[in-house]
Amino acid sequence: MNIVVLVKQVPGTDNVKMDPVTGVMIRSGKDTIINPLDENALAEAIRIKNSHENVKVTAVSMGPESAMKAIKEAIAMGADGGVLISGRAFAGSDTIATAKAIAAAIRKVGDVDLILCGERATDGETGQTGAMIAYYLGIPVETYVSGVEVKEGGVIVKRTVEGGFERVEIPFPVMATVNKDINEPGFPTLKGKLKAKETAVPVYGPAELGLEPAELGLKGSPTRVVKVFSPKLSRDTIMKKADGTTGPVEEMMKFLAGKEAI
Amino acid sequence: MSTYVNANVEKEQKLSQYKGVLVFGEQKDGKILTVTYELLTRGRKLADDLGCELSCVLLGDEIEGLEEVVKRGADKVFFIKDAVLKNFLPRPYSKAITKLCEELKPEVIVAAATTTGRTVMPLVAAMLETGLTADCTELTIDADTRLLLQTRPAIGGNIMATIKTPDHRPQMATVRPKSAKPAAFDAARTGEVIVKEYEGATFFTPEKFLEYIKDTTQEVSIEEADVIVAGGKGMKNADGFRMVEELARILGAGVGATRDAVELGWTTYPHQIGLSGKTVAPKLYFAFGLSGKIQHLAGMQTSEVVVAVNKDPEAQIFKVADFGIVGDVFEVVPMMIEAFKNLKANA
Ligand SMILES: Cc1cc2nc3c(=O)[nH]c(=O)nc-3n(C[C@H](O)[C@H](O)[C@H](O)COP(=O)(O)OP(=O)(O)OC[C@H]3O[C@@H](n4cnc5c(N)ncnc54)[C@H](O)[C@@H]3O)c2cc1C
């Protein structure tokens, strides 16, 4: 059984720096981590590998050369190998253009039964790429997955939906985007780290993936960012200071009653 | 030069075939969900600004009360009827919507950023080869170009980005549930309900829906709650967080939490509010011992009335609060619990 896990490199801190002129995020490549939900996807793949025979896990990432770090980390945590999609032509890709490129790379891995990735990435936060990749591969997708049970020839997934869960049975090949409830991600092992060092990871550009320049980057992206701005906050706040008495709380009660909020 | 001009004319012609606004309504067990009416509020405004029709599509096997969708603002309601569409399955749903879009050629499609909308819209966008903007907080029509301007938080909510889809149709967006008021019922409104029954094979899928399991770990679902009591790291520990839960119980409210409180294990992920958690818009939101980082605000700032308690007078949460108390949660919250207990006892 072949599993592909998608790992995206994202900024590791809350304090993302913005270019004050262009409003574009400054990606230094230094303080980066694997998208946290992708780590859950990876942990799930490794769990399946450890509990079934003949499972191979391949980590796929798209990004600058530095995203190689994410793949090596995935191998250190237990993946068997990886593929990096990289090149200037991919810069500025929106979710559609990204999905096309990743789908092409997965096709190149070949014979994939299960694809796992995080339900969304902490930087873009669109949660669209997984489903779009499934479409380009011509396979079904399940989203918000918080449980995967491998059966003969397929899986039963548990999806988190409003107010509860759904269970859906689905044959291979299938794409599942996972959420945080699925497991606790593990850590790299020493053995894994050594393996990561030794494992050669191919880097594919547009030519290797058989993609036309018109499908890539900004050219291949239907959406355009027209402007970026800071969110405006502010309400007319009534402020009170706690003083050991019930005064402020009583005033709050009056205020809420006046607003018909209680 | 002339080929360039021709290409442009061709593009214009291609784009101008697309007319009307379509919203993707949702049902569960044959009952239309409120989020459908919220979408009608959004859709009606856009359709009026564009001077075009508003349609709503619903998918299912049997659906009650389709007329109500007209009474709440739709000019046309398309009900795509098929046994496979009874429960949400990504494949048949996306195929059905795509099929309708190929017939209707809407200029704009808006869906809710629910687990259903956020799953089906990327598939539809890919099938129709067009752009999609997720989780918009604002949708407007640019008066000069008639383009849909889609505004959403980006980069962890630190900035807002306005996005457009200039050369592809339809223009597609999802909007957060509860980010608009449900459209009002107007008994006098008229419109058409059209039942579509496409060939069964269109919707063939290897997916098999097994069951829906209600989550009983949450007493009150925060998406539905009118009142939410939320706590952050300032509650100190799991014991402290119990105060949040106690007040919630007294008020029949939902329990909310910051990511930090969830990560510390004081409550579970379904209670997380914010960018990587849920978006809520209750009538009343209590924020205890949480700083109000932008990622948290992203999930709650449209709450109607916000009460905050924090010992730091500079905390961001006060910027979105209507009533703020600067003080220790361990002093103030027990007083609130008492006050609400008394209120209830005397009611
Ligand atoms: C991509 C991304 C996504 C994120 N998604 C989310 C999300 O969905 N939801 C979310 O909440 N966060 C999210 N975060 C994290 C967010 O940035 C903050 O770290 C988090 O919201 C802070 O939680 P907090 O307010 O509980 O803790 P803190 O920021 O540490 O605030 C604790 C507050 O408690 C106050 N306090 C302490 N003791 C007391 C006391 N005794 N009495 C009164 N007040 C006290 C302090 O003054 C302080 O203001 C995200 C971050 C990133 C980068």
Decide: B26 and B62 in contact? Cβ < 8 Å.
no
* pLDDT confidence of residue B199: 83
CB contact under 8 A, A165 and B212: yes
Q: What is the spatial distance between Cα B23 and Cα B148, in angstroms, rounded to a whole number?
A: 14
B94, B155, B167 ranked by CB distance to A222: nearest: B167
What's chain A's length in residues?
262
Question: Tokens representing A197?
Answer: 């060092």
Interface subset of B 273-312, CB within 8 angstroms of A: 275-276, 283-284, 293-295, 297, 301, 304-307, 309
Q: Does B7 touch chain A (CB under 8 A)?
A: no
Tens digits of per-residue pLDDT, A162-178? 888 999 999 999 999 99
Residues B238 and B176 in one domain: no
Q: With beta carbons under 8 A apart, name residues in chain A contacting B131.
A: 94, 96, 221-223
Between CA A193 and CA A74 the distance in angstroms is: 9
Q: Which of residues 216-235 of A touch B (CB under 8 A)?
A: 221-231, 233-235
pLDDT score of B147 more than 80: yes
**CA–CA distance from A194 to each of A78, A185, B84 (Å)?**
11, 20, 50
In a domain, A93, yes or no: yes
Among B88, B209, B283, beta carbon nearest to A261? B283
A26 touches chain B (CB under 8 A): no
Residue B326: pLDDT above 70? Answer: yes
pLDDT of residue B36: 98
Task: Please say if the pLDDT value at position B217 is more than 90.
Answer: no
Q: Is residue B222 part of a domain?
A: no
The answer to whether the CB of B112 falls within 8 A of the CB of B26 is: yes
Chain B residues with CB under 8 Å of A171 CB are: 206
Task: List the CATH number of the domain containing B65.
Answer: 3.40.50.620
Candidates A124, A170, A252; nearest CB to B325 = A252
Interface check A12 vs B, CB under 8 A: no
Q: Are residues B75 and B107 in the same domain?
A: yes
**What's the rounded mean pLDDT across residues B117-121?**
97
How many separate domains does chain B show?
2
Least confident of A144-158, B106-120, B196-210: B196-210
pLDDT for the residue A18: 57
Confidence (pLDDT) at A144: 96
ipTM value, please give it: 0.87
Q: With a 6 A CB cut-off, is B276 part of the ligand 1 pocket?
A: yes
Q: What CA–CA distance (Å, rounded) separates A100 from A89?
A: 13
To the nearest whole Å, the CA of A188 is away from the closest chain B CA by 21
Q: Which residues pair with B162 in a beta bridge?
A: A227, B151
Distances in whole angstroms, Cα of residue A201 to Cα of each of B58, B174, B270: 46, 37, 37
**Cβ B159–A231 below 8 Å, yes or no?**
yes
- Chosen from A15, A39, A120, A237 to mutate, greatest number of chain B CBs within 10 A: A237
Q: Determine, yes or no, domain membership for B2.
A: no
**Of all helices (H) and strands (E), which one includes residue A207?**
helix A206-209
In a domain, B208, yes or no: no
Instruction: Residue A113: give its domain's CATH number.
Output: 3.40.50.620
Establish if B143 belongs to a structural domain. yes
Closest CA to B298 of B135, B174, B115, B153: B153
User: Considering only CA atoms, which of B284, B276, B288 is closest in space to residue B333?
Assistant: B288
What CATH number is given to the structural domain containing B235? 3.40.50.1220
Would you place residue B176 in the very low, low, confident or very high pLDDT band (cuts 50, 70, 90)?
Answer: confident
Q: Return the ligand 1 atom nearest residue B275 CA.
A: 8
Residue A235 lies in a domain: no
Q: Strand, helix or coil at A74?
A: helix
Indicate whether B324 pLDDT > 80.
yes
Q: In terms of domains, do B79 and B113 share one?
A: yes
pLDDT the model gives residue B1: 45
Q: Is residue A137 part of a domain?
A: yes
Q: What percent of chain A has pLDDT over 90?
A: 76
pTM above 0.95, yes or no: no
Ligand 1 in reach of B116 Cβ (< 6 A):
no
Query: How sure is the predictor about B202, in pLDDT bands with cuts at 50, 70 and 90?
Result: confident
Same domain membership, residue B126 and residue B32: yes
Q: Within a domain: residue A141?
A: yes
* Subunit contact A126:B269, Cβ cutoff 8 A: no
Q: Which of A131, A163, A180 sits opposite B215 (nearest CB)?
A: A163
Q: What is the spatial distance between Cα A2 and Cα A168, in angstroms, rounded to a whole number?
A: 21
Q: Which domain holds residue A111?
A: 2-219
Helix axes A190-198, A68-76, angle to 10 degrees: 130
In a domain, A247, yes or no: no
- By residue count, chain B amounts to 347
Minimal Cα–Cα distance from B237 to chain A, Å? 21
Strand pairing report for A32-34 and A9-11: antiparallel
User: Containing H/E element for B153?
Assistant: strand B148-154
Flag whether B291 is marked binding.
Answer: yes
> Which of B89, B129, B159 to probe by mutation at the A interface, max A CB count within 10 Å?
B159
